[in-house]
Structures are given as C-alpha cells and as structure tokens.
Amino acid sequence: MILIADSGSTKTHWVLLTRSGQRSDYTTDGINPVFQTSDQIHQSVSTQLLPLIGSHLWIGPIEQIDFYGAGCTPERGQVIREALTPMFRHAQINVGSDMLGAARALLGSERGIACILGTGSNSCLYDGQKIVDGLPAGGFILGDEGSGAVLGRMLVSDILKRQLPDALCQRFYEEYDLDYGRIVERVYRGQMPSRFLAQFSKFVARQIDDYPELDELVKQNFRNFMVRNVSHYTPARDLPVGFVGSIALHYREQLQAVCDELGYHVGMILQDSIDGLVRHSAQSPTAS
C-alpha cells in the first residue's frame, strides 16, 4: 500500500492507496517541519492518523509514503522521516516540498511550469521529474504576486487611498468592522498578517460582478505574477503553465484572460494537489 500526504500548516490531506485502486481519504492537523519537531509530528500522526487507518493495515504493511508539504526542504525532510519511520518501519519514505507536489500533480512526467496561487504564491520550472529552476516566493511584502494575500493587500490599499468607488469602500468597512487603525494594527502587529489579508479575496469574489475595478484588480495581480515570476523561465511561452490553489481556481476566468493576453499556454488548474499526487504515486511498482 501507498500512503500519500499533501500537507500545509493548517491541515494534512492523506490518501491510502492500494494497487487494486481502493482509495481512502483522511484529514489531520497540519504538519510543518519548520515549526514542529520530529517528536511533535510523531505524536500528531500516531494519535490522529493511525486510529483512522488501523482497520486497513490487515491487508498488508504500508510500503511507500510520499509526503509533500510546506517547509519540506531537503534539510527539513529528515524531520519528517524521523517522525514517520518508527510507525512505518517497512515503508520507503519520500519527502518533497509542496512545490514539487504541485509540479507532479499538474504536469506528471511532462516538462512545464508549475505555479501555486493560494494564500501565498510560488512557481518553478519542472523537467518531468524534478524542479530545475525557481524564484523565491518573498512573502506578501517582498513577493507573493498573484496570491490571495497580495490581492487582499491591493484591495485594502486601494480602499485606504480611495481608489475604488465610495459605496464599495463603505461596504468593506461595514462588513469587516474595520477602520484605518484596526487595519494597521492587524497588518503590522498582528499574527499571521498574510492570512488576515488573504481573507479579503472572498470579498472581491462576492463583488467582482458589480465592479469592473475589482476584475481589473485581480487581473493586475495575475499580470504581476506572470511578469515577475513565470517570464523568467526559459522558454516559458513554449511550455504548459499549470496552476494549483484556491485563488487560481476561483479566479480562473481572469487568470486565463491574463495568460492569453501575455501569450502563455494554460495547462491544468486545480484546487489542490492531492488527486494529481495520487495519480503520480499510483504508477509506483510498490503499491500492493
């Protein structure tokens, strides 16, 4: 059997897969080796996941674990292996970044460009097996173009600077019970400012049909992402560009329009990576 994980800091989506095609899905707390030790991850998996999959283990041992997650750099990957090995002694444990997971989910064994557009953003050039080039994400202050956090930042900035219609600005302040002071406090002193800003992408989605200014705001966010990130991969316009993440999916119409405008070929657009990772892992000969 193969166990596949697509993990972020908030939740982990697990899939238990057999050669016969039987699939079982589970959700546990997020796992991030940047913020958790191997002991903490071991405790989380043993108390949350093992009770859920125990009834399936009579079929046979798990022989392969493909774990993709935020913070899973080559150095931090060892933290994941040390956490999982005592529980899955017969398993080959493969650990990759969420970016590698996105590339495999979107492109499989084909060459192309993979992009993540969620709360944050990222991208890479993928040769069909591994990442061969990438740019730093930068976070919502130095980068993260195309993301929900930057879309929220652009929206709030335009509202504070009175760049949007008065009725829309008033609706925003009333809906979120915010004023200038509260916004500054949350962005510059609050915890998780990127999540605070990213939540406003939902406000944009609700109002976008009534305000062409918001449609253009979304498109400009995507233009910035394509120009400042994707354009640096050679030959970008000759390769499929795939996208994974809630922002890519929810604003796929605007994303497609920007890619058409700039001359890029859009491949797959996915909500998340897990289904593509299941397809990728199912090709492994170790499935049972």
- Domain ranges in the chain are 2-104+274-282, 142-218
What is the dotted CATH code of the domain comprising 2-104+274-282? 3.30.420.40
pLDDT digits over 128-170, tens only?
889 999 888 887 778 889 999 899 999 999 999 999 999 999 9
What is the dotted CATH code of the domain comprising 142-218? 1.10.720.160
Q: What is the pLDDT along the chain (288 residues), one digit of tens a residue?
A: 899 999 876 788 999 987 777 888 999 988 888 878 999 999 999 999 989 887 666 566 788 999 998 888 888 889 999 999 998 888 899 999 989 999 999 998 899 999 999 888 899 999 988 999 988 888 777 888 999 989 999 999 999 999 999 999 999 999 999 989 999 999 998 877 888 898 999 999 999 999 999 999 999 999 999 999 999 998 878 899 999 988 999 999 999 999 999 999 999 999 888 888 988 877 654 443
Both tokens of 25, joined, read 């899905």
How far is it, in rounded angstroms, from Cα 205 to Cα 215? 9
Query: Are 1 and 63 spatial neighbours (Cβ–Cβ below 8 Å)?
Result: yes
Say how many Å lie between the first and final Cα of the chain, rounded.
5
pTM for the predicted model, two decimal places: 0.82
pLDDT digits over 5-41, tens only?
998 767 889 999 877 778 889 999 888 888 789 999 9
